[in-house]
Amino acid sequence: MENKLYMKKNVKIPVIFLILLIFGSFLIFLGSRNDAVSVAKSIKSGVLTADEINIAFQNVGGKVTKRFVEESQIVKKGDPLMQLEDIDTKLAIDRLKALVDSQKAAVNQEEKNIEITENETNLSELSTWRKIEEVQANLEAAKSARYLANTEFDRQTQLRKSGGNSQSQLDNARNVFINAKMQVIQIESQLSTLMIGATPEQISQFEQTKNATGMTIQSILIARQKLENRKNQLAQIQAQLAQGEAELKQLQLNYDRLTLRAPEDGKVLKLMFEDGEMVPNGAPAVLLETDRKYIDIYVNEKMVNDYQPGTTVTANVIALNKEVKGKVRFATAAPSFADLRMTRERGQADLTSYQVRIYIESIPKLLTGMTLEVEK
């Protein structure tokens, strides 16, 4: 009898434990799972982080003369942060301004000289055309005088043969005729000199019309070639002026860059240099925490399609008990450690985790480091 009671007791205890195990497993199945994948499916949270930027003096360096801000100070876009010594740059700007002013004066002077020379050349061309016409008229008059002198010389020659005049009269007629011929030769030479450069067609037309307008004159061509050369010299001076002005703009830009300004709103986290210290060219000088705040959450590959770039989501700020809007910036495959962290507890390491970055809108009292839960 005692043996039967003992056996029943030994069977009863395992049965009770089996029932409790089955009941507990059933409750666990119905209850919440605390493994990472289950939590990620129900609650997707992240710590609010702000973009940080290093602000540096662009292409300039020198000694710090003044710091306008301190660590943890809130600044607005354009606020001055740090100032470098500007004496050398000011002197360089003054010297270059004087050089640029001198080059401007040289350009103006050369432009006026070219304008005057061009007007003189045009006037000289017009005067030469009229001079050619005048010399042509003188040539015709000289030829007429030569004809009359030749006729008189022939008449005196015949009279001398018949004894109708004296030798002196014949000699005078000869001298007049010779002078008339020389006059014609001299005027023809003058006319030829004036018409150097004219084409045969232009000369033929001039002989018919007696109008020299439009005739090509060699001296005018040379004058215009010299004028073109002066224009080339002017272009060279203008190029030098443009180079000087560009260098001046660069110096003025560098002068403005001696004052380091905040590129956007944010909070100063760190100042790298103290007053009097030398700042190397391009070295970061201020670390700024921007107002661009975001959270990173991790989802598995089955949920990543719900977080495409540009998607708007809602997040709950636990510390403030408020909801804020956010926009997905990107979703990218997370490092392999995230796969293990998200899935190892359930033996699903074949599921890839994705990092989703969500930029959050700014609301009052929202601070970096706060935890946000994404509801979507």
Nearby residues of 88 by Cβ (< 8 Å), 6 or more positions away: 62
Residue 39 pLDDT greater than 70, yes or no:
no
Q: At what angle do helices 87-162 and 218-257 cross, to 10 degrees?
A: 180
Residue range 91-120: mean pLDDT, rounded:
95
Structure tokens at 368: 């970096």
Q: Residue 197's pLDDT is what? A: 92
What pLDDT is stored for residue 110 in this prediction? 95
Joined together, the tokens standing for residue 342 give 């998200």
Whether 311 has a pLDDT exceeding 50, the answer reads yes
Of 206, 371, 375, whose CA–CA distance to 295 is shortest? 371
The pLDDT of 126-150, averaged and rounded, is: 94
Residue 95: predicted pLDDT:
96
Average pLDDT of the segment spanning 30-34? 51
pLDDT higher at 76 or 367: 76
- Residue 249, pLDDT > 70, answer yes
Q: Locate tokens 């195990």: which residue? A: 21
What does the pLDDT average to over 327-336? Answer: 85
> Which of the four pLDDT bands, split at 50, 70 and 90, describes residue 98?
very high
> Which of the four pLDDT bands, split at 50, 70 and 90, describes residue 340?
very low
The CA radius of gyration of the chain, in Å to the nearest whole number, is: 52
Q: What is the pLDDT of residues 281-309, one digit of tens each?
A: 888 999 999 989 999 998 888 888 888 99
For residue 193, pLDDT over 60 is answered with yes
In a 10 Å sphere around its CB, with 0-12 CB exposed, 13-18 middle and 19+ buried, how is residue 73 labelled? middle
Arch. (CATH architecture) of 89-247: Orthogonal Bundle (1.10)
Per DSSP, the residues of 176-228 read HHHHHHHHHHHHHHHHHHHTTT--HHHHHHHHHH---TT---HHHHHHHHHHH
Phi, psi (deg, nearest 5) at residue 212:
-90, 0
CB burial of residue 339 (10 Å; 0-12, 13-18, 19+) = buried
According to the 3-state scheme, what is the secondary structure of 230-286? HHHHHHHHHHHHHHHHHHHHHHHHHHHHCEEECCCCEEEEEECCCCCCEECCCCEEE
pLDDT given for residue 162 in this prediction: 84
Domain boundaries, the chain: 44-77+264-375, 89-247
Separation CA 317–CA 372 (nearest Å): 5
Note the pLDDT tens digit of each residue in 65-90: 999 999 999 999 999 999 999 999 99
Residue 171 predicted with pLDDT over 80: yes
Sign of CA dihedral 60, 82, 252, 250: positive
Helix (H, G, I), strand (E, B) or coil at 376: coil
Q: What is the mean pLDDT of the chain?
A: 86
Q: How far is CA 337 from CA 47, 84, 344, 356, in A?
A: 19, 46, 10, 15
Q: What is the pTM of this model?
A: 0.63
Helix (H, G, I), strand (E, B) or coil at 81: strand
What pLDDT is stored for residue 35 in this prediction?
A: 46
Q: How confident is the model at residue 26 (pLDDT cuts 50, 70, 90)?
A: low
351 band by pLDDT with thresholds 50, 70 and 90: low
Return the higher-pLDDT residue of 191 and 10: 191
In sequence order, what are the beta bridge partners of 53? 288
**Edge-to-edge strand list for the sheet holding 80-84:** 259-261, 80-84, 62-67, 278-279
